């Protein structure tokens, strides 16, 4: 490489930071622009509930988590695998472990310690230039980027531009999705940002609200539009949250968008067949309904409150088949998604149809897109961060290929 090549990365989340890390290995001059006063703010938020870096499952099932984008992500994940992510964490001094659910977490280090080591590695490199409080405002017709920095505008020209602007949730971390307009003007198609991995609003009865403030029901299977997830759900005064709900949230959300409400089926006893549930509720014939459900099936106060929200109790006293049926298929109607700002991630964003396989723009391959601003959905479980790292790796690999380094 004769002339020093300059790459401008916009957005200091995990995708932008990791792309910088990879490019610096090959002596490329990297300028990273971040609109807030610090980097990795959403990464730090993710760390508050246990930083789930990636997942230990087989790659063949791992890539299925990217739904309609499975084929595309297969290539990205194969090029930078969960094991590569684990090894990168090790490079920064972070040992990881696989939890019982298969999720991979740092052993000791907190997200803030990892970010500190990560930034140290970047800042120690003479070719790394960090520009905080630089907000990309628009892109000029000739392709230069215009940033706002301390009440002044700054024009930036580079050989390659990488956008890593994030999704549209948790605005206070900097990712506000405001980029849609100027990115579209650049000539890429985008899809409206929508909440993903989000909770839902349910119109509970006043009786339910008296009984339950917040509570978990563990080990259930939830289903929406034929797609199921097992895990825990959290009942709140406004509706439903929790890992299992997040995993099917795109299906519930789409049903609400299409027909005005989304039906979630909850199997409260997924390890028992309908026949086994029926036997257990029939056996304790003399017990009250509540005792039959408590002692016979081990349903606690919170699970009972949920069941009673749906159950016709008089009918259930005499019709055990009906009772068993509702236990296996307790139908709750979700009225709305919770506000997008509360969601763990968003779907929508830059459409792959406008991009080459290496994530550069079809009409100008000096512009690239990585991370959550791409139009992909994945459940929680480490698939979001892995998606950000793998797309960042892909872009660094493409630029290095073009430079022959
Ligand atoms: C509560 C919560 C928990 C989570 N837990 C996990 C988890 O355990 N595992 C997991 O895999 N994922 C998790 N995620 C998701 C994960 O954090 C995100 O998918 C990831 O941070 C996205 O990375 P990114 O770099 O694409 O975008 P972001 O992290 O959103 O970074 C985008 C950056 O771009 C900057 N930016 C935006 N606009 C401009 C502009 N105009 N000019 C300059 N800079 C700009 C922003 O300030 C921000 O710093 C969690 C998310 C949340 C909210």
Q: For the chain, give the secondary structure using H, E and C.
A: CCCCCEEEEECCCHHHHHHHHHHHCCCCEEEEECCCCCCCHHHHHHHHCCCCCEECCCHHHHHHHHHHHHHHHHHHHHHCCHHHHHHHHHHCCCCEEECCCCEEEECCCCHHHHHHHHHHHHHCCCCEEEECCCEEEEECCCCCEEEEECCEEEEECCCEEEECCCCCCCHHHCCCCCCHHHHHHHCCCEEEEEEECCCEECCCCHHHHHHCCCEEEEEEEEEECCEEEEEEEEEECCEEECHHHHHCHHHHHHHHHHHCCEEEEEECCCCCCHHHHHHHHHHCCCCCHHHHHHHHHCCCHHHHHHHHHHCCHHHHHHCHHHHHHHHHCEEEEECEECCHHHCCEEEEEECHHHECCCCEECCCCCEEECHHHECCCCCCCCHHHHHHHHHHHHHHHHHHHHHCC
Residue nearest to atom 30 of ligand 1 (CA): 166
Region 6-196+343-403: CATH code: 3.50.50.60
Ligand 1 atom nearest 137 alpha carbon: 41
* pLDDT tens-digit series, residues 80-128: 999 999 999 999 999 999 999 999 999 988 999 999 999 999 999 999 9
Residue nearest to atom 4 of ligand 1 (CA): 46
For ligand 1, say whether the CB of 13 is within 6 Å of any of its atoms: yes
Q: Cα of 170 to ligand 1 centre, how many Å?
A: 8
Average pLDDT over residues 10-22: 98
355: tokens are: 């991009």
For ligand 1, say whether the CB of 145 is within 6 Å of any of its atoms: no
**Best mutation site among 8, 21, 46 for ligand 1, i.e. most ligand atoms within 8 A of its Cβ?**
46
Average pLDDT score, the chain: 96
Q: What is the pLDDT of residue 211?
A: 86
133: tokens are: 């409080």
Q: Cα of 2 to ligand 1 centre, how many Å?
A: 35
For ligand 1, say whether the CB of 20 is within 6 Å of any of its atoms: no
Phi, psi dihedral angles at 54 (to 5 degrees): -160, -165
For ligand 1, say whether the CB of 106 is within 6 Å of any of its atoms: no
**Best mutation site among 175, 359, 371 for ligand 1, i.e. most ligand atoms within 8 A of its Cβ?**
175
387: tokens are: 């998606």
Strand partners, 147: 136, 154
Name, in order, each residue with C-beta under 8 angstroms of 307's C-beta and a sequence gap of 6 or more: 268, 293, 299, 326, 327, 330
* pLDDT tens-digit series, residues 218-255: 999 999 999 999 999 999 999 999 999 999 999 999 99
Q: What is the pLDDT of residue 27?
A: 86
Ligand 1 atom nearest 384 alpha carbon: 11
Tell me the domain boundaries of the chain: 6-196+343-403, 200-337
* pLDDT tens-digit series, residues 329-370: 999 999 999 999 999 999 999 999 999 999 999 999 999 999
Q: What is the pLDDT of residue 162?
A: 98
Average pLDDT over residues 52-73: 97
- On the question of pLDDT at 204 being above 70, the answer is yes
Q: What is the pLDDT of residue 1?
A: 54
Q: Cα of 174 to ligand 1 centre, how many Å?
A: 8
pLDDT confidence tier of residue 200, bands split at 50, 70 and 90: very high
Q: What is the pLDDT of residue 4?
A: 85
270: tokens are: 């997924």
CA distance 379 to 392: 19
């Amino acid at each position: 490489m004769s002339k020093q090549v300059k790459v401008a990365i916009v957005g200091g989340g995990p995708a932008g930071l990791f792309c910088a890390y990879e490019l610096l290995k090959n002596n490329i001059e990297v300028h990273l622009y971040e609109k807030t006063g610090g980097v990795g703010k959403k990464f730090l938020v993710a760390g508050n509930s246990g930083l789930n870096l990636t997942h230990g499952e087989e790659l063949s099932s791992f890539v299925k988590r990217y739904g309609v984008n499975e084929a595309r992500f297969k290539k990205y994940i194969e090029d930078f695998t969960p094991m590569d992510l684990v090894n990168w964490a090790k490079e920064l001094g972070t040992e990881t472990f696989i939890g019982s659910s298969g999720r991979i977490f740092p052993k000791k280090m907190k997200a803030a310690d990892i970010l500190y080591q990560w930034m140290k590695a970047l800042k120690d490199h003479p070719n790394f230039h960090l520009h905080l409080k630089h907000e990309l405002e628009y892109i000029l017709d000739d392709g230069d980027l215009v940033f706002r920095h301390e009440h002044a505008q700054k024009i930036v020209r580079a050989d390659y531009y990488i956008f890593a602007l994030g999704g549209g949730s948790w605005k206070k971390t900097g990712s506000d999705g405001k980029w849609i307009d100027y990115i579209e003007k650049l000539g890429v198609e985008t899809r409206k940002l929508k909440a993903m991995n989000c909770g839902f609003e349910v119109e509970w009865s006043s009786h339910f609200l008296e009984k339950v403030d917040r509570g978990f029901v563990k080990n259930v299977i939830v289903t929406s539009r034929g797609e199921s997830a097992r895990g825990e759900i959290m009942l709140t005064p406004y509706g439903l949250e929790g890992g299992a709900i997040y995993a099917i949230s795109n299906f519930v959300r789409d049903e609400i968008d299409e027909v005005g409400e989304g039906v979630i089926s909850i199997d409260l006893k997924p390890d028992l067949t309908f026949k086994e549930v029926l036997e257990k509720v029939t056996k304790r014939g003399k017990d009250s309904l509540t005792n039959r459900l408590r002692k016979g099936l081990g349903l606690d106060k919170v699970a009972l409150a949920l069941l009673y929200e749906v159950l016709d109790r008089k009918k259930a006293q005499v019709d055990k088949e009906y009772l068993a049926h509702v236990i296996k298929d307790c139908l709750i109607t979700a009225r709305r998604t919770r506000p997008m700002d509360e969601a763990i991630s968003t779907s929508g964003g830059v459409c792959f149809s406008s991009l080459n396989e290496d994530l550069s723009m079809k009409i100008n391959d000096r512009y690239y897109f990585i991370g959550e601003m791409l139009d992909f959905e994945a459940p929680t479980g480490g698939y979001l961060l892995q998606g950000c790292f793998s797309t960042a790796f892909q872009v660094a690999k493409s630029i290095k290929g073009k430079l022959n380094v």
